[in-house]
Amino acid sequence: MRYTFLLYSDQKNTPDQTPEQMQKSLKTFGAYIGALKEAGVFVDTDWLQPTETATTISMVGGKKRVQDGPFADTKEQLGGYFVVEVTDLDAALAWAEKCPGAYYGNVEVRPSAMPEGQK
């Protein structure tokens, strides 16, 4: 079963990081990615730039609308994600609670809706 972890956090909690902090973050996340890979459950991950860099596009109703900024301007923003392949929700939650993102924000765990053959 494939699950996506959506990492939400308050960007104000992570202002411009010093190079040392950045190094530390990269190391923590690197170790986590290593653990996922070693367990054979890693599928994909990305770390996203702040929401100021976002552009939102919609084609609803056949009309193109482009907006500067994120879709929803909330306090906690999507900052990155992980995709893992594990047997069930218990296994997914066990990995989610080890995710560094859970220690400064929230990790939403969502099961995949993609039919087996198309993954």
Partner 1 sequence: MSQNPKARAAEVARVSYGKLLAVLAKQTRDIALAEDALAEAFTRALETWPHEGTPEKPEAWLLTTARNKMRDQFKSAAHQTSVSLDDIEPVMNDLDPHNIPDERLQLLFVCAHPAIDENIRTPLMLQTVLGLEAAQIASAFLVPSTAMAQRLVRAKKKIKAAHIPFIVPEKSQMSARLEAVLEAIYGAFSIEINDTDSNPNDNEDLGLEALYLADLLVELLPNEAEVLGLAALLNYAASRRINSEHFTPLKEQNPATWNTPRAERADNLLARAKEHNKLGRFQIEAAIQSVHSQRRFSGTTDWVAIVQLYEGLLHLAPTIGAVVAQASAIGEAHNAKAGLARLGQIDPKTIENHQTAWATRAHLLAEAGDNKNARTAFDKAISLTSNTKVRAYLEARLALIQTSN
Closer residue to partner 1 in complex, CB, 67/88: 88
Which token pair is 7? 């990492």
For the CB of residue 17, give the shortest distance to partner 1 in the complex, in Å.
33
Amino acid at 6: L
Site for partner 1, rule CB under 8 A: 1, 87-90, 93, 109, 111, 113, 115-116
Tokens of 67: 């907006």
Map residue 19 onto helix, strand or coil: helix
Question: What is the closest distance, in whole angstroms, from the C-beta atom of residue 116 to partner 1 in the complex?
Answer: 8
Q: Write out the H or E segment, with its range, that includes residue 108.
A: strand 106-111
Pick the closer one to partner 1 by CB: 3 or 32: 3
The neighbouring-strand residues paired with 88 are none
Min dist CB 5 to partner 1, Å, is 13
Nearest CA among 17, 86, 6, 13 for reference residue 45: 6
- Closer to partner 1 by CB, 53 or 108: give it: 108
Residues 6+ apart with CB under 8 A from 13: 104, 105
- Nearest approach in angstroms of CB 83 to partner 1 is 15
DSSP state, 48? P
C-beta of 15 vs 115, nearer to partner 1? 115
